[in-house]
Structure formats: structure tokens, C-alpha cells
Structure 1
Amino acid sequence: MDLQFAEKKVKDLHNLLNQYNYEYHVLDQPSVPDAEYDRLMRDLIELEEQFPELKTEDSPTQRVGGEILDMFEKVEHQSQMLSLGNAFNEQDLRDFDRRVRQGAGENVTYVCELKIDGLAVSLRYEDGLFILGATRGDGSIGENITANLKTIRSIPLRLKENVTMEVRGEAFMPRRSFEKLNKAKEENGEEPFANPRNAAAGSLRQLDPRLAAKRNMDIFVYGIANVGDTGIVSHSEGLNYLDSLGFKTNKERKRCKSIEEVIDYVEGWTDKRPNLSYDIDGIVIKVDSMESQEQLGTTAKSPRWAIAYKFPAEEVVTTLRDIELSVGRTGVVTPTALLEPVRVAGTTVQRASLHNEDLIREKDIKIGDQVVVKKAGDIIPEVVNVLADRRTGEEQDFNMPTHCPECESELVRLDGEVALRCINPKCPAQIREGLIHFVSRNAMNIDGLGEKVISQLFAENLIKDVADIYKLTYEQLIQLERMGEKSVNNLIQAIENSKGNSLEKLLFGLGVRHVGAKAAKTLSKEFGQMEALEKASRDELTAINEIGEKMADSIVSFFEQEEAHELIAELKAAGVNMAYNGPKPVSAENSDSFFAGKTVVLTGKLEMMSRNEAKEKVEALGGKVSGSVSKKTDVVIAGEDAGSKLTKAQELGVEVWNEERLVEELNK
């Protein structure tokens, strides 16, 4: 067989196999038996072995799993993957509807979709070819799991149009696949997965894609990251467009013209959810109009135009066997109920937080009680109430201690606080928890340095503070239990990589009281350097939006400690970055720029710079670049072949510039 004939044969096989795959895994309407599909796949494999130059990234043979990976690389999402706010009852839904109508007007249509209980992923396509798939991660940066996602047959490797886009979806494990996987694990003497969600996450984070390929995962794509110049004006239109490209979307969605229709949809699926072939944990409600979405905007964490209704938590009865105390990194002593193991919402629960002493008294909880347990939001176990009528008289009262269970220091209750707190700065538990926080995902994000490893290093006196992490050696780590040569080398590299993190990661990791991840980013943007923040006064801090008096006092108090300066100096000497690496805030020099505080839309093809370059330059001058035109748009930059956005701008009377005018304004 010559190359030219082989090339035509391979192309024909691609088309046939992709069509049969789409019919089977997306439409659920197979037109040929499995044996015919397998025969064609064997033919393609043989041709690719004979002519390796004909094997392409979008070949159907690429779904079987490739080489084993050493680790997952980090990737940045083109736009942030926000989380959704939650609703737990009808009143929450009505409050959401009221807020939407206040912000976007009375004429609102919603789209309701089943909330798939899986793993959120982002899929990137260039000219129709699937090039990158990533986990949600922290919303801005995820992990590259492209090889594993290629094994999901309902993900198209090539779209029906040669478009460049990033889409979002929920990868999940169907119940049948989950049962088959757990049966195999039990037969091999392995611990089964607790639920399909855990199984899905575990499968997509396999370093060996061949294992992921055996798990029979699936996906529903639920949105486009940025509608850009597609001309799409509503979420429902976007879903239909995804269908036309060959994606698998969930067909149980419904457009609702009122909150009453939304509530009816929610109530219907609350009863019908057990009949599905996959798990759902709620309903997602989104405003349909893209223009209304733009008007409503987002908070730092979630869009104001969408909400997730969570199904009522399952409640079960079990025995509270004991109460355990733990000391957190801020010194708060938290009681935890140790329960007789019981299945709740798909997982086995043995522990539940009791929060504080007042809650134990309020609910009259005793050791030995029969208690009702549920998972708040189907995630966090909590004790709902005590079945006092089942008491035998053998139950025991519980009293909080007067001294720290870790260091024996006297516990105190600060003014205005419910919790008991250990205020000994050298308390081992606080130091250990602080170390765990420092390496966590939202802080320095050091892969391989989890709670167990940190606890072991701390117990062996190999680390006493966070600076010691950067002094760890191969010889010290290789001696740890379950740490082989490969794991140690990966960990050392992860520690080294963390030195380059932007300042906000370090600041959050240091655990300054009241300073969360969002505030850490705000402070880092404002001051730019750790040195400047160390010298900041209370007045300078409270002058910043989002920084209140309580937080400012906490920051000043932290940097007044000599130990804090010494620790930062050690980290700096170890090579840890002390500067903010992200987009800079508008400076005094450019605050008079035309773009400061303005909303700009880019449309059409630019010749002198890429759209991303233009976006970065506008944002550096204080502007906001939006994906859609609305009455709030200040100016539209129209390049070649500008489409519907230009038309809409002209209809609304929005100012329109060409690229030359944009460049002129940027260079002022």
C-alpha cells in the first residue's frame, strides 16, 4: 500500500470512527454493532503502525491512553472558573430572583440545568482541535489532564467547525461504571471508592492515562468560557451551539419564564433524581440573556446571574461514641464528634464537627447519645439533634477543658468570641496546622507536601517553621515512610517551583489573622512588595477598599513582631519571591487615562496587535474589557470583519473606534 492510498484510508477511518463514536457516546443511538467499531479501530491502528507519519493528535486511537506522566503541569485558564453561590430552599431561590430583577429588570428568563456531581474541567480547542484539558484548580490555575480527558469518548477530539474556544463541563462517572469499578477493586482486595464523585476525581488525576481509559468516564459540557465574537446572545443559544459542534450537553435543561417555573422544575427533579444513570446534587439556575449576565456581573467568587440549588441533605441516626478536641492554626479548640460509622449521602461518616462549647450545650449533646446526622450541602457532616427519648442513663456529660490539649497552656475566650483559644505562640498544634496551611493549594501550593508528610516532618523535628521547608534535603526526605526516590525528587522540585509564586500566595500562606486569599491579593496588588507591606500603617491599610479596621489592626500587629521579620528574611534568603507578579493596579501616572474605569469591548480582527495584547494594555490603564456590548459599554474597538457586536454598538449609540484610534489612545 502506498502512502497516498494509506492517507485516504486513514482519513476515511477517522470520519467513520468519529461518527460512530458520536452516535454511541453523545446521541446514545449507535448505528453499528460494537464488533464493527472494533474492526475499524484495529484497521486504523495497523495503518498508523505501518505509516507513523499519519498518526495525528485527533486520531480516534489517541483515546486508549498514552505514556505515564511524572506529574501534572499547572495551566492558566483563559477566564476564571468561578464557583456558584448556593440556595437551600424556596426562599433562597425567591431572594435570588429578586436580586436578579433588581439588577437586570423585570423581564428575566432562566435556564435550569441538572447539577452533575463530578469534576469541573476546562477544554481548550484551536481551529477545532482539542489541545488542552484542565481541572478547575483554584479557579485561575488548574492541572493539565489532557491525556486523561482524551480517554472520555464523549469529548470530541475535533469539532464540526474549525473554531478556537474554551468550554467548561463536568466530567463524571456513570453509576454503572462506578459499580463495575468498585466490584473490581473489592475483588482485588482494594478499598472501594466512597462515591462516583470521588471515583471521577481519582480517575482523572491518574498519572497513567491507560488506567483512566478503563474507567468509562463521561462528560456534560455546560458553557463557553467567553462567547467572544460568536454572536451568541443567550446561554440557551450557547448550549445549542455546543450541540452543533459535537459536544455532549445535558438534554434535561429547561428555559423558565418565571421563578415559579424554576421552583416547579426543582421540585420535580428532587423526586426524579434516583431514576438517573448518574448522580446529581442539585439544580443550577442561570439568567439566560448574556446582556443581563453582563449587567449583573460577578463577585470575587461567584457570578450574580447564577445560583446552585442544593438538594435537602439526607439524615441518618447513629451513636456518638466520644468527643475529640483539635487545635487549629489560630489556636481555636474545636470539638469533633466521633460517631459509629454510618452511610450518609453516599459516603461513610465517622466524624462530625461540633463547632464549639455553646453548640454542645444548646443541643444538650452527651457522649453515648443517639444523634441525627446529615451532610450540610451534601459535603460536611454535622450533628442535627439528639434523640433524648432514647437515652438509657449511661450517657456522659462533656465539659470543655480549661487547658490546651496539646501544650497545657490555659485556654481563653476573647471578647466577642464563642470559641476557646490557646494563645501560646509556641503551641505545637498551631505550628503544625500553620505549616499545613502554608503548603495548601490556595497558599504556596506545594504538591506532595500534604498533611501526613508535614506531620511526619514536624514530629521528626525536621521542620519547625515554614522557612525550614526550603532547607529540606534529599537525604532527609528519602528516610520518610512511603517516600521513594521519584516522590522525593518531585517534592524537591515542587518546593523549588513554589519560590516563584506571586506575593499574595506567600502572604496568605503566612496565616495573618483575618487575611484571606482575596484580601491577600488586594494587599499584594496595592503594595507590590513585601517590604512595603511590612512598613504599612493602619491608616494606609484602611484607605484600601475591602480592608477594614479589624484586618488592618491584625496586619500591623503581625508585622510588629520581630519573629515575623526574621521569618520573612529567612524566606527571602532562601529565594522565595517577595513581589506581586500579577496585573498591576492603575497607578497615579495613568489614572487620568481615557480607559480608567471604562468598559471596553474588542471585536473583529486586529492587525497591529493580538486581541489579548490589546486587552492587557487596556486593563493596565484601568479599563475593563467585556465580552459583550450593553448600555454600560463605553467604547467598542472594531477591527476587520467586526460582526454583531459592532451592529449592537451602533444600535445602542455606543462610541466605536478603529484600531488606529485605539493605538493612538494607548500611546498617550
Structure 2
Amino acid sequence: MTLERLNEIKKLLNEYNYQYYVLDNPTVSDQEYDRLMQELQSIEAKHPEWITADSPSQRVGGEVLDGFQKVTHQRMMLSLGNIFNEDELREFDDRIREVYPQVEYVCELKIDGLAVSLVYAQGQLSYGATRGDGTVGEDITHNVKTIKSIPLSIDYQGDFEVRGEIYMPKKSFEQLNQQRKEAGEPLFANPRNAAAGSVRQLDSRIAAKRGLDAFLYMVPTASEVGCQTHKEALDYIKQLGFKTNPMTRVCANIQEVWQFIMEMTEKRQSLPYEIDGIVIKVNRLDWQERLGYTAKVPKWAIAYKFPAEEVITKLKDIVFTIGRTGQITPNAVLEPVRVAGSTVQRATLHNEDNVVSKDIRVGDYVVIRKAGDVIPEVVRSLKERRDGSEKKFQMIDVCPYCGSPLVRKDNEAAYYCLNEHCDSKKIERIIHFASRDAMNIEGLGEKIIEQFYNLGFVRSIEDIYSLSRHEQEIIDIEGFGRKSMDNLLEAIEKSKGNSMEKLLFGLGIKGIGAKMADNLSKEFKSMDALLNASTAKLLSMRDVGETLVQSLNRFRSQPQSMTLLEHLKAIGLNMTYLKDTSLLQESIFNGKTVCVTGTLELMTRKEIKEYLARLGANVTGSVSKKTDYLICGRDAGSKLEKARELGVTVLSEAQFQEEVNL
């Protein structure tokens, strides 16, 4: 057993993996593949010093994390704007052709999975990260390595990023749910949820068994590697060993784009993976760059979403739920039915007026639709299928949780429970406060909060931050334990440092959603400034109207609201907007393109890139005429030479640290 034999086996297995998982063209039997893998593992067991990160043996899983580390993306991972019909598609085309009349498009299937960024350093996979909020994602490298279509190494010297979608094929999804059914475990609703749940496992052995796959579809620095079009970039990463979607098509005009959409709409159900639309991109990269971006989406790309799928099922019952504002919502309990890739058993009926106007009755056969392929709703009842046993809808007049009389507010269709002591309302407020889009307290999900509330541990938002008082009692709960408690307390403490908009959204003020919370925080910079803002100042803001101002005024006039904020401030919660700091405004790197090279002494390459991103820099992996700064460590090579040739400003690591006062 020699190192030469080890390398020979690795080369063979990597080649077989590529042929099977990327080209879908296996050239060796399973028995021969397994024999080689066993031989490789045997050699590595005797010579652990020969194990490398790109060894095929590293794909089997086994790494177990305590929690996910955060990763700041080198460039924002933006989502796409959506369109839903041919007219909107042509409007998109008109906007593009006003600038570039001879535009050519690339059409891609919109894979229904989880977006991922893969970053390679000197040809080796450095890390894989989820999109997260577009700026900061989670490091899922340990699970990415188990996906056999993703190369652990590529023939590229330097830093390289490629983006795509991790998904679960339909076959893997069916096998997984069958296994869970036999084990008595809850079933996954659809392949996307199953993929997301698998990628976010702390134990990579679980992800390794789930049959995940990935399509790669974007190179953020494609022009820097010599590509002039998006299609060339796809061909380039395919040559590097990445799996790209074979259904991608270049279209000469918008008519060809629409023909492609119609074709894929028909083929959608027969594909071996779920798709929820078609992505249309301007092909030329220089045109993409000039067309630019809005605050949230690129102007050169759009996502066509398939029309909502409709199915028929039976409405078994109507039940009522309560939200954090006390709003009572009627919901349909349905015979389970598959719609748009998932099993639906409940659907919203919105409000009393909606149910009455549609004459929806218990026992009706009804048409169910997923609005935007996400939220199930009852579209209409099939009155012609009634047999006389159906029951007319009757709106309740008292809260189903506390028994208080319900009130229908003027100019609203909804009924509300006004009892501030209603347990269900309190639970919903706490759930909202801890949710991902608000304070994002991992480990404090809906079921845990309800359990803690009923046990008396968390009866209000403030109680979250004194949970340590019940530490031993919680540890003694079956299925919890010391490790879970430590992780929860760490997540609670970490949430204190969230930016103001997270807290503002978490407070659950009616009319202040996540986007409005961000806008208000950006404008006023601190909670005190917002709470003391005049009505005139608030109304001068875009999208702020009388209704929202009245809602905010009610909140800040309530003594209990001010007491809550004072308490949260006293225990250390941040009350300021952190996305727009003086550090960013004063940084010479804000808005500049920066490259890092050489061996660094006081920071890792990853750390300095994350820090530069926080300073507002666009961090790239190579030097070009667009580069503003090159930061050099020891043993800088060709990048330093190229920077000097192009007249790029070069900073040593010490000069960089002096500039940013590290």
C-alpha cells in the first residue's frame, strides 16, 4: 500500500463520481466502486497523515457540529423579482430593449431547493454557505462535502466562487419519506423542505444519507475568468467539473423565451426534480453590469413563476386561530391532498366576509390553490356536488382560547380578541419575537415556547432573557439536556446584539413588517429617536401612512410597551441600527473593489474578507483594472505583480490594520 496507489484510487473514484453524478453516465459497477472505496478507506486508516480534504472518503459524513457558524458573503446573494404571465414577461423585455435592442436571453429552470455559495481557495473547497439574509449565511461545508456532484477540488489556482441550488430529487424524497413513515417519524411536506432540513443538520452523516444533489448556475466573477456571456460562464464551470442543468437554453428573443416557458410548463411534472418557475437572464455579462440592480434584485434577470396549481378535496371542518394582534382567522381542515409539490391538510379562509361571499360550507368539495406556490387557500366551493349534509358557516362571537367577546373593528373584515391577558395571544407574541425574521433565537421554536409558557418559564418577552433561572428544570425535561440548554442560552445572549430593525419587527407593532422595520431603523438610527419622532416626520417617509402612524402612536402611548423596552435596554439589548455605522461611512474601502493575497499573520483570509465586507468593500478573488486595493501578506506572487502593472494601490497587512485601527 503506497501513496501512489492511494492517489490512483482517488483519481479513479473522483472520475467515477463525476461520470455518475454529473454526467449521469455510470461507467463502472457499484461493486467495483465499493471495492475501491473500501481499499481507499483501508489505506487511509493505516496512514491518516495521507488523508486530504478532497478525498472521496470525506463525502461519507461523520463530522458533527455544535452549531452553525455565520459567513459574510463576498458579494450579496440577491433574490429575483417575480412575474406571473406573458404580459409581465414582455414588460421586462421592453425595459431591457430600451437599453439594448438586440438583447439575447438565457433561460434556466428555477430549481425548488436551497441556494448555496461554494468558495474555493487554490483549487480546494474552502466553504459552502446558505444565502441567509443575502449578506450573512450559514456555513454548511460539512454537509456540502457529502453531495457527490459537488467537486471537492477544481483545476483553478486562486479564489473562485460559484453559486447554485442544492435540491432533493423526487426519488430521494419518496425514499426518505417512506423510511420516516416506517420509523413513525413526521413526513416532509415537499422536496424543498426536505433538502433544507437535510442541509441544516449538525451531523453530516444524516445529510450523507439523504441523496442530495446540486445544480450550479452562476459565477459572480465570470468576466474576470475571461467569460463574456452567462452561457460561456456555465460552460466554463461545467469544464471545471460542476453540474449544470442540461435544460438551459439560449433564446434570441422574448418569443423564444415564452415558447421555452410553455414547453417546460408541460414537462414540469415529468422532471426528476421539482421546479417552480423559469429564470430569464440577459446573456451578455457587460450588459448585466450596466443594467445593474435595484436595492434587492438585479434588473437584468427575472423569475417567471408557474401559475398556482389547483386541486379538489373535501372540507372536513372550519377551525379558528388567533394571531399575535388578536386577529381571529377561520381555517379549513381538509382531506389531505397533494398540491404544488406538498401535502395540504389546512388552508386559510381569510375572514368571515370571504367565507360568506363564496358560500363555503363544512362538507363541501372545494378547490384548493397555493397562492404564489406557497400559501394554501380555498378558492371556491363546488356547489353542484352538494348532497344536503353540508353545514353553513357560522362566525364565532367569543375567543376560542379565553372566552372573551370578539370585536369587529370599523372598516375591517376581521374580528379581534381584545383581552390582553389571553394566553394564546401572549404565546403568539413570544413566538413572533423569537422567530427567524425577528430576533432569530435558534432553539426557541413554536413548540418549545408553548411548552415553556405552560410550565411558567416564559410568560412574556422579558422572561426569555431570564431563562437561566430555570436552567436545571429545563435540563431535566425529556429530550432537552445540558447541550441543548447551553446552545439555547448562547442563542439568547447572542440575540442581544441584533440590529435595531430585528427588535422593532419582533415587537409585533401592527403594520410594521420586516421591510418597514428596516426602513424606520435606517431613518431614525435608534429606538429612542423613533419613539420620539413627530407625526409629521413619520409621514414624510415613503410608504408610511396614517394607519401605521396611529399604530405606532398606540404602541408608544402604552405604559407596558415602554416598560418592556426599558427592561430590554437594561439587560443589554441593542437599540441602534447597526447596518449603517460611522465605521462604514468613514472607511476608505466602502464601495471599493479589494483583493487579498499572500499569507496573513494576524487574520485568516476568511476573517479579513468578512471584515472588508462589513466595511462596504466588494472583495474579489483576482486583480483587474477594476481593483482599487490589493492587501498583501507574506509571499505574495502574481497578483502583486499584476497590481503593480495596473497601478493598483497596494497595502501591506500592517498598513491595512493601521488604516482600520485594528
**Secondary structure in 2 aligned to 1:91?**
helix
Output the CA distance in 1 between the equivalents of 2:61 and 2:182. Answer: 24
The change in CA–CA distance for 1:618 and 1:540 in structure 2 (over 3 A counts) is farther
2:232 corresponds in structure 1 to: 237
2:307 corresponds in structure 1 to: 312
1:193-592 superposed matches below 5 A: 193-227=188-222, 229-472=224-467, 473-478=470-475, 480=477, 482-544=479-541, 547-548=544-545, 550-584=547-581
The change in CA–CA distance for 1:211 and 1:114 in structure 2 (over 3 A counts) is same
Output the CA distance in 1 between the equivalents of 2:135 and 2:609. Answer: 20
2:35 corresponds in structure 1 to: 39
Output the CA distance in 1 between the equivalents of 2:127 and 2:332. Answer: 43
Output the CA distance in 2 between the equivalents of 1:395 and 1:516. Answer: 39
**Larger displacement relative to structure 2 (42-51 or 329-338):** 42-51
Amino acid paired to 2:445? G
**Secondary structure in 1 aligned to 2:369?**
strand
Output the CA distance in 1 between the equivalents of 2:397 and 2:184. Answer: 45
1:555-634 superposed matches below 5 A: 555-584=552-581
The change in CA–CA distance for 1:353 and 1:56 in structure 2 (over 3 A counts) is same
Deviations 1:312-352 (A, max 9, x none): 33322222122111121122221111112223234322211
**Secondary structure in 2 aligned to 1:463?**
coil
Output the CA distance in 2 between the equivalents of 1:96 and 1:374. Answer: 26
The change in CA–CA distance for 1:420 and 1:626 in structure 2 (over 3 A counts) is farther
Deviations 1:115-148 (A, max 9, x none): 2222222222112211212233333333322111
1:49 corresponds in structure 2 to: 45
Find out whether 1:63 has 2:65 as its counterpart: no
Deviations 1:366-408 (A, max 9, x none): 2221111122233321112111112223322223234433344
Deviations 1:629-656 (A, max 9, x none): xxxxx99748696999999xxxxxxxx9
Aligned counterpart in structure 2 of residue 81 of structure 1, from 58, 77, 80: 77
The change in CA–CA distance for 1:106 and 1:370 in structure 2 (over 3 A counts) is same
**Secondary structure in 2 aligned to 1:229?**
helix
Output the CA distance in 2 between the equivalents of 1:392 and 1:645. Answer: 80
- How much does 1:114 deviate? 1.2
- How much does 1:241 deviate? 1.8
Query: Is contact 2:105–2:280 with CA below 8 Å preserved after alignment?
Result: yes
1:659 corresponds in structure 2 to: 649
The change in CA–CA distance for 1:477 and 1:391 in structure 2 (over 3 A counts) is same
2:91 corresponds in structure 1 to: 95
Output the CA distance in 2 between the equivalents of 1:443 and 1:378. Answer: 24
Amino acid paired to 1:507? L
1:653 corresponds in structure 2 to: none
Output the CA distance in 1 between the equivalents of 2:11 and 2:577. Answer: 49
Find out whether 1:131 has 2:115 as its counterpart: no
Output the CA distance in 2 between the equivalents of 1:574 and 1:602. Answer: 39
2:109 corresponds in structure 1 to: 114
Deviations 1:548-581 (A, max 9, x none): 5544443344233322221112112323233333
Amino acid paired to 1:561? Q
- How much does 1:467 deviate? 0.9
Output the CA distance in 2 between the equivalents of 1:265 and 1:318. Answer: 32
Query: Is contact 2:643–2:649 with CA below 8 Å preserved after alignment?
Result: no
Aligned counterpart in structure 1 of residue 16 of structure 2, from 13, 20, 37: 20
**Secondary structure in 2 aligned to 1:432?**
helix
- How much does 1:169 deviate? 1.5
- How much does 1:279 deviate? 2.3
Identity within the alignment, %: 50
Deviations 1:27-81 (A, max 9, x none): 2233333333333323322222222211111111101112333333333333333
Amino acid paired to 1:537? S
**Larger displacement relative to structure 2 (362-371 or 534-543):** 534-543
Query: Is contact 2:643–2:650 with CA below 8 Å preserved after alignment?
Result: no
Deviations 1:161-219 (A, max 9, x none): 12312322211222333333334334444444343323322322333222222222211
Deviations 1:232-264 (A, max 9, x none): 333222212211221111111001121111110
Deviations 1:417-459 (A, max 9, x none): 3323334444333222111111111111111111111122223
Query: Is contact 1:181–1:215 with CA below 8 Å preserved after alignment?
Result: yes
Output the CA distance in 1 between the equivalents of 2:376 and 2:393. Answer: 20
Query: Is contact 1:323–1:367 with CA below 8 Å preserved after alignment?
Result: yes
Output the CA distance in 2 between the equivalents of 1:606 and 1:555. Answer: 52
Amino acid paired to 2:487? N
Query: Is contact 1:229–1:643 with CA below 8 Å preserved after alignment?
Result: no
Output the CA distance in 1 between the equivalents of 2:173 and 2:209. Answer: 11
TM-score for both structures, normalised by structure 1: 0.85
The change in CA–CA distance for 1:125 and 1:595 in structure 2 (over 3 A counts) is closer
**Larger displacement relative to structure 2 (172-181 or 216-225):** 172-181
**Larger displacement relative to structure 2 (303-312 or 53-62):** 303-312
* Matched residues, number: 640
2:633 corresponds in structure 1 to: none
1:180 corresponds in structure 2 to: 175
- How much does 1:616 deviate? 7.9
**Secondary structure in 2 aligned to 1:167?**
strand
Query: Is contact 2:609–2:619 with CA below 8 Å preserved after alignment?
Result: no
1:166 corresponds in structure 2 to: 161
Output the CA distance in 2 between the equivalents of 1:515 and 1:12. Answer: 60
The change in CA–CA distance for 1:519 and 1:586 in structure 2 (over 3 A counts) is farther
The change in CA–CA distance for 1:207 and 1:421 in structure 2 (over 3 A counts) is same
The change in CA–CA distance for 1:413 and 1:232 in structure 2 (over 3 A counts) is farther
**Secondary structure in 2 aligned to 1:355?**
coil
Question: RMSD of the alignment, in Å?
Answer: 3.7
1:631 corresponds in structure 2 to: none
Query: Is contact 2:629–2:650 with CA below 8 Å preserved after alignment?
Result: no
Query: Is contact 2:589–2:612 with CA below 8 Å preserved after alignment?
Result: no
**Larger displacement relative to structure 2 (408-417 or 79-88):** 408-417
**Larger displacement relative to structure 2 (262-271 or 298-307):** 298-307
Output the CA distance in 2 between the equivalents of 1:594 and 1:54. Answer: 44
**Larger displacement relative to structure 2 (368-377 or 256-265):** 368-377
Query: Is contact 2:522–2:577 with CA below 8 Å preserved after alignment?
Result: yes
TM-score for both structures, normalised by structure 2: 0.86
The change in CA–CA distance for 1:635 and 1:36 in structure 2 (over 3 A counts) is closer
Output the CA distance in 2 between the equivalents of 1:495 and 1:584. Answer: 24
**Secondary structure in 1 aligned to 2:225?**
coil
Query: Is contact 1:600–1:635 with CA below 8 Å preserved after alignment?
Result: no
Deviations 1:275-315 (A, max 9, x none): 32222222222222333333443344433332222333332
